[in-house]
Chain A
Amino acid sequence: MTIQNGTRSAVFKILASAVAALSLVAVAAPAGAAGGGAKHPRSGGFSFEGPFGTFDQAQLQRGYKVYREVCAACHGMDLMSFRNLGQPGGPFYDSHFKGGPADNPYVRVLAAEVQVADIDSETGEPIMRPATPADRFPNPYANATAAAGANGGAAPPDLSVMAKARHDGANYIYSLLSGYEPAPEGLQIAPGQYYNPYMAGDLSPFWTGDPDHVPSGGFIAMPKPLADGQVTYDDGSPQTVDQYARDVAAFIAWASDPHATERKRTGMGVLAFLFIFAGLTYASYRRIWKGIAH
C-alpha cells in the first residue's frame, strides 16, 4: 500500500509541528540555565535516564542512607512519607509484602529509627515518638524562619522535588555535591559562603583577576557536605564522595518523580497502541477515499 501524497504531507505536517514543538523546547529552556556561568553538569551515568531507564533499587537504598545520615540534618523532604520507601519502584519495595508499605518490615524499622513530633493522645502535650510508615519525613526545623536562622539566613531548600526544580536535576545534584573545589586565587568570598563551580551565579563582581576569565559557578551557603568514609555501605560499594553524591542524587531523582518507570512503561504501551491505531485508521481512510478525486 503506497502512501498517498496527501498522507505523506500529513506525516510531514505532523513532523513539522513536532520539529516546531521540539524547537520550542529549546526556546522554553531558560536562558539562565547556561547563563550566569555555571559549569555544565557532569553526567552521573544514571540508570534511570532515557526512555527505557529504570531506577537501580540498590542505589536508591544507598541514596536514602546518605540522605538520612547526612542531608536530613538540615534538609527536609516534606512531601515524602516513610511508606513511599516501600511503594512499587521505591528503594525498599518488595512484592512479597502483599499489604503494601505498611506491611513491609524494612519500612517499619526504617521509620521507627526516626523520631517524629506528635501530641500525647491523653494529655495533648507535644511528645516525640518513633515514626510509622504513614508519617511524613520530619523536617529538621520547626518552621521556615528557624531554618534560615540556623543557617546564616539561607534556609536549606526542601529536597522533595529538587531533581525537577533544577535543569538536568540528577546530574546537577551529583556535580554540585562532588564538585566542590578550592576557590581560585582572587575570588573574594564572604564568610558563610563557599565556592562551587556548578552553582548558578555570576562571579564577576567578586573577581579581582583577569576579567576575561571569570571563574564559572557561584557561591553556595552550604559547605562541602560529603567526605570519604562518612557513610557505611553494607553492600561493598565504594565509600567515596563521588559514590555518595551519585547515590543521593539518584535517591532525590526518585523522590522527585517516583512514578518515572511506570510512566515510561505506560508510554511504550500507549505508543504501540497508537501506531497500530494509526495504521488501522490510515487503511480505513484509504479504503473510504479509494478512487475519489480530490
Chain B
Amino acid sequence: MSDHESTYVPKTGIEKWLDSRLPIIRFGADYMALPTPRNLNYWYTFGGILMLCLVIQIVTGIVLAMHYVPNTEMAFASVERIMRDVNGGWLIRYVHANGASMFFIAVYLHMLRGLYYGSYKAPREIIWILGCVIFFLMIATAFLGYVLPWGQMSFWGAEVITNLIGAIPLVGEPILIWLRGGPAIDNATLNRFFSLHYLLPFVIFGVVVLHLWALHTSGQNNPAGVLIPKERTAKDTLPFHPYFTVKDGFAIILFLILFALFVFYMPNALGHADNYIPANPLVTPAHIVPEWYMLPFYAILRAIPDKFGGVLAMFGAIGILFVIPWLDTSRVRSMRYRPTMKVFFVIFVIVGLGLGWCGAQLPDAPVVSGMPSFMLLDGQLNSYLWLTRLLTAYYFAFFLIIMPWVGLKETPLPVPASVSEPVLDGGIPEKKG
C-alpha cells in the first residue's frame, strides 16, 4: 500500500488469527505509526477536520432523513416539525445546515493550504485530483441538499441552476426535462434530489478513502515542500500517533467551538431568510442567491454575458483546478520559498473573497456609490458586473498565465536540504539550483 514497512507485530493469539484473515488491525496500527513530517503546522489539521465534518453530516443527515418527507406538499412542514416536535430535532437540523458551511470553510482552507505548499506537485497529482473530485461532489451534494427544505431559495436556486443545463446547445433541453422529471421543478425533482443527496456523501466517502490511500502512497507533504528520503525518516518524521492525532484533536476542538457558536447563537446567519418562505413557483424572490460557498462561482457565471458561456466559465472555474499540477512550472514546491508567487497567491485569495462578495450583489449596483461612471458595452463601468469580470479575469489568469510564467521566471529563496536540518543540525541549508 505504501513504501513504508509495516511495523505492526500481532501479539495475542486473537490478533494473529485475525491478522492472517483480515489485516484490519495491522491497517489501523500502520496508519497510526505513519511517519509524518515533524514540521507540519496547523494548516495541516484541516484534513482531520474535514473527515469529522463528513461524519457529522452523514450521521445528522441519516437522522434527519428519518423525519423528513420529500414531497412538495409536506417537505417544508416536515422540516419545521423536526425543528419543533422531534426530540432535539432543532439541534440536529442546525448542526446539519451549519455543518455544510463549516465543511466548506474547512475545505477552502484545506485547498488553499495545498496550493500554498505545492501539495499538488509531483508525486502528489492524484491526491490533488481526487481532492478536486471530492470538492465537486461536495458542491453537488450541497446544491441538492439546499433544495430539500423547499423554501423560496430552495426552489428558485434549483430553477436557476437547472436552467443552466438547458443552455447546453442541442442536447440541453431534453437533458433538462430528463433531469427535472417534467417541464418544471416539481415533486419528481424533489424526490430524486433527495435520493441523490442521500447517495453522494457515500460516494464522497469512497473518494476520500482513495484520497487517503494516495496520500499514504506518496507520503505527506510538508511546509518546506521537500521530499523526505527513506534514510531521513527517523530524523525528519514522527509517528502519526500520538503526535499528530493530538494536534488534529486540538484543532478539531477549536473548530468545534466555532461550529458551536454558529449552531447555538447564530444558526441562521449563514442562510437566507427567504428560505423560510414556502416555495411558490409563481413568485420569484427579489434576489436569488445561492449559499455563500457557491457565491464565487455564481459571480463568475453572471459575469459572462452569454448564457452558455457563463455555464462554461462556471464549470471551467472548477475544472481548471484539476489541471493545476501541470500548469505550475516551478521546481520549488512551497511558496515559503517563492516570494513572487506568494504575492500573487495572496491576491488570489483576496480575489476569491471578492468574487464571493460580488456574487451576493446585484450586477447593476454601483461598487462605489456616487462615483461618476460611463457605459462600457453592456454595463456601467462602476458596477459589480465589471468588477466581477475583472476579478474573474484574475482568477483564470492566476492558473493559466501566472502559474506557468512565474514558475519559470522567478528566483526562489534557498530551499532547505531537508525538513529538520535547519532545526536540528544547525547546518546551513544548501542552495537549490
Q: B-contacting residues of A (Cβ < 8 Å)? A: 6-7, 9-11, 13-14, 17-18, 20-21, 23-25, 27-33, 35-36, 51, 78-79, 84, 157-158, 160-161, 164-167, 169, 200, 256, 258-259, 263-264, 266-268, 270-271, 274-275, 277-278, 281-282, 284-285, 288-289, 292-294
* Least CB separation from A16: chain B residue: B109
What range describes how many residues of B lie at the interface? Answer: 35 or more
Query: Looking at the complex, which one of A24, A166, A259, A284 makes contact with B292 (CB distance below 8 Å)?
Result: A24
- Check A27/B356 contact, CB under 8 A, given A10-B254, A288-B246: yes
B360 proximal to A (CB < 8 A): yes
Task: Tell me which of B80, B90, B250, B359 contacts A281 (CB under 8 A).
Answer: B250
Residue B287 at the chain A interface, CB threshold 8 Å: yes
Please judge, given known A-B contacts A28-B271, A160-B80, A274-B260, whether A11 and B360 are in contact too, CB under 8 Å.
no
State whether B273 touches A165 (Cβ < 8 A): yes
Note all chain A residues with C-beta closer than 8 A to B356.
24, 27
Are A270 and B264 neighbours in the complex by a CB distance under 8 Å? yes
Q: For B243, what are the chain A residues with a Cβ–Cβ distance below 8 Å? A: 288-289, 292
Per the bound structure, the CA–CA distance linking A7 and B41 in Å amounts to 9
Question: Which B residues are in CB contact (< 8 Å) with A271?
Answer: 257, 260-261, 264
Q: Does B171 contact A (CB under 8 A)?
A: no
Query: What are the residues of chain A within 8 A of B291 when measuring CB–CB?
Result: 28
Residues of A within 8 A of B254 (CB): 10-11, 14, 278
Q: How far is the CB of B146 from chain A (nearest CB, A)?
A: 13
17 pairs, A vs B, C-beta closer than 8 Å: A7-B250, A10-B42, A14-B251, A23-B353, A24-B292, A28-B269, A30-B274, A32-B286, A167-B273, A267-B263, A277-B253, A281-B253, A284-B246, A292-B243, A293-B420, A293-B424, A294-B238
Contact present for B258 and A28 (CB under 8 Å):
no
B360-A278 in contact (CB<8A): no
Interface mask (B347-360 → A, CB under 8 Å = 1, otherwise 0) = 00000010011011
Q: Known pairs A10-B251, A281-B250. 9 more at Cβ < 8 A? A: A10-B45, A24-B292, A27-B357, A31-B289, A263-B90, A263-B91, A267-B261, A289-B246, A293-B423
Q: Which chain B residues lie closer than 8 Å to A278 at the CB level? A: 250, 253-254, 257
Q: Are A164 and B276 in contact (CB under 8 A)?
A: yes
Q: Knowing A32-B287, A294-B39 are in contact, say whether A281-B246 is a contact too (CB < 8 A).
A: yes
A165 touches B276 (CB 8 A): yes
Contacts of B105 in A (CB 8 A): 17, 20-21, 24
Inside 8 A of B94's CB, which chain A residues have their CB? 263
Considering the complex, give the chain A residue whose CB is closest to the CB of B384: A31
Structural contact, A14 and B258, CB atoms closer than 8 A = yes
Is the CB–CB distance between B43 and A281 below 8 Å?
no
CA distance in complex: A184, B263 (Å): 43
**Residue from A24, A274, A281, A292 within 8 A of B38 (CB atoms):** A292
Name the distance in Å between B422's Cβ and chain A's nearest Cβ. 10
> In terms of DSSP, what is the predominant structure of the interface of chain A?
helix
Instruction: Identify B287's interface contact among A24, A30, A160, A285, CB under 8 A.
Output: A30
Interfacial chain B residues near A263, Cβ < 8 Å: 90-91, 94, 264, 267
| B432 within 8 Å of A (CB atoms) | no
Partner-A contacts on B (CB < 8 A)? 38-43, 45, 77, 80-81, 83-84, 90-91, 94, 101, 105-106, 109, 238, 242-243, 246-247, 249-251, 253-258, 260-274, 276-278, 285-287, 289, 291-292, 295, 353, 356-357, 359-362, 365, 420, 423-424
- Cβ contact within 8 Å between B84 and A79: yes
Q: Sorted from nearest, which 9 A-B pairs have the closest CB atoms?
A: A267-B264, A165-B276, A10-B42, A32-B287, A164-B276, A14-B254, A294-B38, A28-B292, A32-B286
- Which A residues touch B249, using CB under 8 A? 281, 285
Query: Are B423 and A30 within 8 A (Cβ)?
Result: no
B interface majority secondary structure: helix
Contacts of A27 in B (CB 8 A): 292, 295, 356-357, 359-360
Output the least CB separation between A51 and chain B (Å): 5
Q: Contact check, B265 vs A267: say whether CB atoms are below 8 A apart.
A: yes
Q: Which of A9, A14, A33, A200 has the most CB of B within 10 A?
A: A14
- When distances are taken between beta carbons in the complex, the residues of chain A under 8 Å from B272 are 28, 30
CA A31 – CA B299 in complex, angstroms? Answer: 14
Task: State whether A266 touches B253 (Cβ < 8 A).
Answer: no
> Are B42 and A13 interface neighbours, CB within 8 A?
yes
Complex CA gap A180/B203 in Å reads 54
With contacts A14-B255, A30-B272, A267-B265 taken as known, whether A285 is within 8 angstroms of B286 at the C-beta atoms is: no
- For B291, the closest partner residue in chain A by CB is A28
Q: CA–CA, A288 to B40, complex, Å?
A: 15
Q: Who on chain B is nearest to A8 by CB?
A: B42
- Are the CB atoms of B253 and A17 closer together than 8 Å? no
Closest to A80 in B: B84
Contacts of B265 in A (CB 8 A): 51, 264, 267
Closest residue of chain A to B349 (Cβ to Cβ) is: A20
- Report B50 CB to chain A, min CB distance, Å: 13
* Residue of B with least CB distance to A160: B80
CB <8 Å contact, B42 and A6: yes
**A67 CA to B360 CA, complexed, in Å:** 35
A284 and B242 alpha carbons, distance in the complex (Å): 10
A256 to B101: give the CA distance in the assembly, Å.
22
- Distance A35 CA – B369 CA, assembled complex (angstroms): 13
B274 touches A165 (CB 8 A): yes
Expressed in whole angstroms, the Cα–Cα distance for A164 and B266 within the complex equals 12
Would A6 and B41 be within 8 Å (CB), given that A11-B254, A167-B273, A274-B253 are in contact?
A: yes
In the bound complex, what is the Cα–Cα distance between A6 and B43 (angstroms)?
Answer: 10
